[in-house]
Amino acid sequence: MTWVNTILQGLLLGGIFAMAAGGLSLMFGVMRIANLAHGDLMILGGYAAAVSTLHLGVPVPLTVLVSMAVLGGLGYLLQRTLLDRAMALSELAPMMVTFGIAVMIPNALAEVFSNDAQPLNIGALGTASIELGGGLAIGWFPLLTVVAAVLVLTGLHLFLHRTQIGRITRATADDPEVVRLMGVDNLKIYALTTVISLVTVALAGTLYAMRQGGVTPYEGQLTVLFAFETVVIGGLGSLWGTLAGGLVLGVAQSAGAQISPDLPLLAGHVVFLLVLVFRPQGLFGRSVLA
Amino acid sequence: MQHNESQPARRTVLRALGFGAAAVGAAPLLSACAGGLKKSGQSSDSTIRIGYVSPRTGAFAAFTEGDAYILEQVRARFGKGLTYGGKTYSVEILDRDTGSDPQRAAGIAGELITRHNVDLMLATTTPDTVHPVAEKCESEGVPCVSTIEPWQAFFFGRGGSATKTFKYTFHFNSGIEGLARIETDMWRLFDTNKKVGVLWPNDSDGAAFRDKTAGYRAQTGVGGFTIVDPGAYENGTKDFSSVIARFKEEGVEILAGVPAPPDFSTFWTQASQQNFQPKVATISKAVLFETSVAALPNGLGDGLCVATFWLPAFPFSSTITGQTAQQLADGYERSPLSRGRKWNQGLGFNHALFEVAQSVLTRADPKDREAVAECLSRTTLDTVVGHLTWQGGGAANPVKNVATTAGVGTQWVRRADGSFELKVVSNSLVPTLKLDGKAKQL
């Protein structure tokens, strides 16, 4: 029963990782940008939600839309003003830009909102759980997060594979030069990708803030590590892989914790390294987004 | 240069006076400290420079929110100068922000010492700022006073021992023994099975608590309780199911620990989801501030207990401004420099740093670093955080470089409007502070 609980809680945890990693996977798949600011953008999304309800009186369930709009808009500006130029410079430049953003976001948040937690309270839902008998209980909110992760990743998958613009996006990922020969403005595709990516980041950040009851400026830095591990375990550029990667990482951490509380992060890292050594393309990986 | 030549003579006189005062047992507050005759470490101008190194930004900035207000008050007072031995020195306070980064703290300390030639260093808040600054001061021979870090971490964490003490670096703060005393007092307020589940993370705080000889379990008062330690979890752990399962299995009724705020939020939410409900929870660090308590999901902060080492109701006052603790807190909250924020414990402690500075710089030749350091080791002062003494040993002065402060047991209680207030529920270390009522079960 203990191990059933471990795996169950690990899967719920994995949902959070998958949720956080979706946008990262997409941006990397299309533009080869390793977005180091991913975790901090997630926290920024949490702030957008918390601040909109605290200061503008937006009802808590709707804050997620505010957050998506804010980060989506920010994503557009980011891509157009900074990342496009950085991509033209060199392969490494966009990563350095995102690194700079990762430093600026938490410090700016602390300067404006102080280090205090900005509450985002979802009331009884935050602590409600389903009894499964035998001492097993799973929280409603973690369950909702897993469902949201599956929906987001499914949605992205359908978008990329079943729509015209999705096909163009995949083509751009494969070869931006050729796509331009076909009359497609690849920069527009890049902007769209970043916007979509940041909208999912906003959702992840809002769910994270709701889960924690609030958000503080410096929480994003560990999240980005988990998100990267998730993407790599699952396979770069594969959205189903991202989901699987999240679940594998979650169960690995949970199982590590069951053995000893100081092991979860190590167990996660070990699984990550094993994947890198024995299956470097990841569980579902192909070399390019498909 | 004229006054320089006359200095040793004057100091000798004062030293004689100082000895005389000590001999007749006069109030230590008034006794001048002896100045050394050594020329080393002396500078000769008529401005005292005080370095103040604090994390104004970054992860620990909450503790230094009051800095702008404190500095304004202190600069106004020190603007009149500080007088030692009949000579009035003007005072310059050089305040620097570490960004909560130890490397930057070391760099700042080095710059303050070599470029600005500070006469006294003040440092505050966590080993990340205090240790690099204190290390620099100890090696360069600059007197340093620090606070807001458990004293065991300051002293033993920097290699201090019964035989190895520090010459230039001094500290005041409570320690694990004070915290354990206050927390066990609160545990005893409830009828429990005395099983205590602890959250001691895999970081310096957690390690200090877990330490077999000097840690939590070694403290008197903890003896009657069974500690259930599930192990050192990593900061940033997102799933505490295994810890919760262990606590439930062992029938834990008391929760204690030093988790980081986001981790405690994760733990406490999951505990509620998975039906782990202790009768009392004494949590350090994670629930120090009202905002972090209010941010716990679904009002889960209600009833959490925390040891508090300074609050406005404390029956102490400042030797700089004469304000009581209450007046200091009120003054801060009314000041535009508070930007509408409430007092927190850092306000009292950081203010007290300057009280110690004022005391030593008027009792020892401020331009003689050795004399100032020597004076610090013989300082006793009643500050806004209470009685501090670096002499006499005992609980108040457990090792040479440390003065301890007292605290009380407090509980967060949710008001009808959803805000939280901090109620004093146990006061054995500060009996003059009256209780706000009886502690309620979680």
Instruction: Sketch out chain A's domains with CATH numbers.
Output: 2-278 (1.10.3470)
Chain A residue closest in CA terms to B243: A261
Q: How far is A104 from chain B (nearest CA, A)?
A: 11
Chain A residue closest in CA terms to B59: A218
pLDDT in tens, B283-307: 988 898 888 888 888 889 999 999 9
A204-218, B124-138, B142-156, range with the lowest pLDDT: A204-218
Contact check, Cβ <8 Å, A6/B242: yes
Chain A residue numbers with beta carbons less than 8 Å from the beta carbon of B261 are 117, 216
A40 has a chain B CB within 8 A of its CB: no
Chain A residue closest in CA terms to B230: A261
pLDDT at position B38 over 50: no
pLDDT at position A25 over 80: yes
pLDDT at position A287 over 70: no
Chain B residue closest in CA terms to A130: B273
Chain A interface test: which of B242, B285, B288 (most A C-beta within 10 Å): B242
Chain A residue numbers with beta carbons less than 8 Å from the beta carbon of B65 are 114
Distance between CA atoms of A75 and B124, rounded to whole angstroms? 39
Contact check, Cβ <8 Å, A6/B297: no
pLDDT in tens, A2-12: 788 889 889 99
Contacts of A211 (CB under 8 A, 6+ apart): A16, A126, A141, A142, A145, B266, B269, B297
pLDDT at position A20 over 50: yes
pLDDT score at B34: 58
Rounded to an integer, the average pLDDT of B365-369 is 94
Provide the 8-state DSSP code for A125.
G
pLDDT score at B27: 41
pLDDT at position A114 over 80: no
- The total number of residues shown for chain A amounts to 290
Q: How far is A244 from chain B (nearest CA, A)?
A: 18
| Count of Cβ atoms closer than 10 Å to residue B283 Cβ | 25
Confidence of residue B43 (pLDDT cuts 50, 70, 90): low
pLDDT in tens, A140-164: 999 999 999 999 999 999 999 999 9
Chain B residue numbers with beta carbons less than 8 Å from the beta carbon of A266 are 234
Contact check, Cβ <8 Å, B57/A10: no
Q: Is B21 exposed, middle or buried (0-12, 13-18, 19+ CB in 10 A)?
A: middle
Chain B residue numbers with beta carbons less than 8 Å from the beta carbon of A6 are 241-242
pLDDT score at B32: 66
Chain A residue closest in CA terms to B231: A261
pLDDT in tens, B239-255: 898 899 999 999 999 99
pLDDT score at A123: 82
Distance between CA atoms of A258 and B421, rounded to whole angstroms? 37
Rounded to an integer, the average pLDDT of B158-171 is 94
Rounded to an integer, the average pLDDT of B304-322 is 95
Closest to A116 (Cβ–Cβ): which among B230, B265, B291? B291
Strands B254-257 and B195-199, bridge-based pairing: parallel
pLDDT at position B116 over 50: yes
Q: Are B112 and B143 in contact (CB under 8 A)?
A: no
pLDDT at position B75 over 50: yes
CATH architecture of B2-174+311-403: 3-Layer(aba) Sandwich (3.40)
pLDDT at position B323 over 60: yes
Chain B residue numbers with beta carbons less than 8 Å from the beta carbon of A12 are 239
**Percent share of chain B, pLDDT over 70:** 90
A144 has a chain B CB within 8 A of its CB: no
pLDDT in tens, B385-419: 999 999 999 999 999 999 999 999 999 999 988 88
The pair phi, psi for residue B29, each rounded to 5°, is -60, -35
Confidence of residue B6 (pLDDT cuts 50, 70, 90): very low
Closest to B292 (Cβ–Cβ): which among A6, A117, A142? A117
Q: Please name which of B404, B415, B423, B410 lies closest in space to residue B178, comparing C-alpha atoms.
A: B404
Rounded to an integer, the average pLDDT of A13-22 is 90
Q: What single letter denotes the amino acid at residue A58?
A: V
Q: Is A21 exposed, middle or buried (0-12, 13-18, 19+ CB in 10 A)?
A: buried
Contact check, Cβ <8 Å, A253/B239: yes
SS3 for A214? Answer: strand
What separation in angstroms does the CA of A89 have from each of A32, A38, A46, B146? 14, 21, 32, 48
pLDDT at position B28 over 50: no
Provide the 8-state DSSP code for A188.
H
What separation in angstroms does the CA of B52 have from each of A256, B62, B64, B172? 44, 17, 11, 15
Distance between CA atoms of B422 and B412, rounded to whole angstroms? 5
Tokens 């937006």, residue?
A58
pLDDT in tens, A165-184: 999 999 998 898 899 999 99
A145 has a chain B CB within 8 A of its CB: no
| Count of Cβ atoms closer than 10 Å to residue B219 Cβ | 18
Distance between CA atoms of B83 and B10, rounded to whole angstroms? 14
pLDDT in tens, A65-93: 999 999 999 999 999 999 999 999 988 89
**Percent share of chain B, pLDDT over 90:** 63
Distance between CA atoms of B272 and B266, rounded to whole angstroms? 10
pLDDT in tens, B205-239: 888 888 888 888 988 888 889 999 998 888 888 88
pLDDT at position B37 over 60: no
Rounded to an integer, the average pLDDT of B99-105 is 88
**Percent share of chain A, pLDDT over 70:** 98
pLDDT in tens, B176-203: 999 999 999 999 999 999 999 999 998 8
Supply the mean pLDDT for chain A: 89
Closest to B266 (Cβ–Cβ): which among A124, A140, A212? A212
Contact check, Cβ <8 Å, A139/B270: yes
Confidence of residue B42 (pLDDT cuts 50, 70, 90): low
Q: How far is B382 from chain A (nearest CA, A)?
A: 31
Q: How far is B88 from chain A (nearest CA, A)?
A: 39
- ipTM exceeding cut-off 0.85 for this assembly: no
pLDDT score at B418: 83
At the top level of CATH, the class of B177-308+407-426 is alpha beta
Distance between CA atoms of B251 and B105, rounded to whole angstroms? 45
pLDDT score at B364: 94
Q: Please name which of B328, B340, B402, B417 lies closest in space to residue B170, comparing C-alpha atoms.
A: B402
A278-282, B137-141, B169-173, range with the lowest pLDDT: A278-282
Contacts of A259 (CB under 8 A, 6+ apart): A267
pLDDT in tens, B260-269: 888 899 999 9
pLDDT score at A216: 86
A262 has a chain B CB within 8 A of its CB: yes
Rounded to an integer, the average pLDDT of A31-60 is 93
Contact check, Cβ <8 Å, B262/A216: yes
Cα dihedral B434, B437, B439, B442, rounded to 10, equals: -140
Contact check, Cβ <8 Å, A260/B231: yes
Domain locations in chain B? 2-174+311-403, 177-308+407-426
Q: How far is B239 from chain A (nearest CA, A)?
A: 7
Chain A interface test: which of B60, B198, B273 (most A C-beta within 10 Å): B273
Contact check, Cβ <8 Å, B245/A257: no
Say what angle helices A186-212 and A140-162 make with each other, to 10 degrees. Answer: 170
pLDDT score at B417: 87
Residues of B with CB under 8 A from a CB of A: 57-62, 65, 202, 230-234, 236-243, 245, 248, 261-262, 265-266, 269-270, 272-275, 289, 291-292, 294-298, 300, 341
Number of A–B residue contacts, CB under 8 Å = 138
Closest to B239 (Cβ–Cβ): which among A9, A219, A262? A9
Q: What's chain B look like in SS3?
A: CHHHHHHHHHHHHHHHHHHHHHHCCCCCCCCCCCCCCCCCCECCCCEEEEEEEECCCCCCHHHHCCHHHHHHHHHHHHCCCEEECCEEEEEEEEEEECCCCHHHHHHHHHHHHHCCCCCEEEEECHHHHHHHHHHHHHHHCCCEEEECCCHHHHHHHHCCCCCCCCCCEEEECCCHHHHHHHHHHHHCCCCCCCEEEEECCCCHHHHHHHCCCCCHHHCCCCCCCEEECCCCCCCCCCCCHHHHHHHHHHCCCEEEECCCHHHHHHHHHHHHHCCCCCCEEEECCCCCCHHHHHCCHHHCCCCCEEEECCCCCCCCECCCCCCEHHHHHHHHHHCHHHCCCCCCHHHHHHHHHHHHHHHHHHHCCCCEHHHHHHHHCCCEEEECCEEEECCCCCCCCCCCCEECCCCEEEEEEECCCCCEEEEEEECCCCCCCCCCCCCCCC
Chain B residue closest in CA terms to A225: B236
Chain A residue numbers with beta carbons less than 8 Å from the beta carbon of B240 are 257
pLDDT score at B31: 59
Supply the mean pLDDT for chain B: 88
Contact check, Cβ <8 Å, A212/B248: no
